[in-house]
Structure 1
Amino acid sequence: MTIDAQQQETFTIGEVAERTGLSVHALRYYERQDLLVGPVQRTSGGRRIYTAVDIDWLQICVKLRESGMPLADLARFAALVRQGSGNEDERLKLLDEHRQHIEAQIHALEECRALIEWKVGVYSKHLRAGTATGLWDPGHGP
């Protein structure tokens, strides 16, 4: 399929929901919140029709939301993209700040994982040794 044919192919809201993992309700919400980079086209009967470009953008939105980007930041990013060229530095700043936030979350989760791994090791050691009864039980004396 050529790029022109791909861009001209249209999809129903149900097909877009299936391809993006968003519900039909979420797609309508994204549209109302101006999270899309272009207006959703409609058939003469008023039904929404989407393009491959819309799906690509929505898949980016899904990943940004899954990574914890607030809707306000996503809306700002979409607005910048809609404005066209000339604001790439603002887009980069927004994405870089989000990346830094994610890296801080990953670091915090790695610290949590290390503590849990240590705790699992302690419990495993005591269970193998038969000394786990009362382990960290505030009602059980030393």
Structure 2
Amino acid sequence: MKIKDVSEKFHLSPDTLRYYEKIGLIRHVPRDKNGVRDYTEENCDTIAFIKCMRAASVSIDGLSRYMELFQQGDATRAARRQILVDERNHLESRQKDIQEALQHLNWKIKLYDEGKF
């Protein structure tokens, strides 16, 4: 899959894809005989994971740490799992904060609807 196709599929700019490759988040992207990137299914799976993690506000540093450990193989399973657990806990905490803010906004909107503001 060429960079334009991957860019459209994942709604990421080609510059972002090249940056992720440059910093090592996406590894081993094959190139055709003209040097044009030709992403594999495995590369696309990695991009889907990166996109999901970025949507959850996982930092580039956190992703880099995870991907580095992933490349080291099975010996790092516990460390990788812990990174994911930590990120899940952080996301659940943010979810709680967002839910509380949403409830407050709904209460305020109700007051406006009732003419109390």
Q: Return the TM-score normalized by structure 2.
A: 0.94
Question: Per residue, is there more helix in 1 or in 2?
Answer: 2
Question: Per residue, is there more strand in 1 or in 2?
Answer: 1
Structure possessing the higher radius of gyration over alpha carbons? 1
Structure 1 unaligned blocks of 5 or more: 1-10, 127-131, 136-142
Which of 10, 31, 35 does residue 42 from structure 1 map onto?
Answer: 31
Which of 15, 22, 31 does residue 25 from structure 1 map onto?
Answer: 15
Match status 1:86 vs 2:75: yes
Which residue identity is paired with 2:39? Y
Equivalent residue number for residue 6 of structure 2: 16
Spell out the pairing of 1:1-142 with structure 2 (5 A cutoff).
11-36=1-26, 38-126=27-115, 135=117
- Asked whether the 8 Å contact 1:19–1:55 carries over to 2, the reply is no
Give how far 1:28 is off: 0.2
Structure 2 unaligned blocks of 5 or more: none
> How many residues were matched structurally?
117
Which residue identity is paired with 2:109? V
Which contiguous aligned blocks of 4+ residues in structure 1 show a shift greater than 6 angstroms? none
- 1:68-110 alpha-carbon deviations (Å, 9 max, x no partner): 0000001111111111111110111001100001001000011
- Asked whether the 8 Å contact 1:42–1:48 carries over to 2, the reply is yes
Q: Return the TM-score normalized by structure 1.
A: 0.78
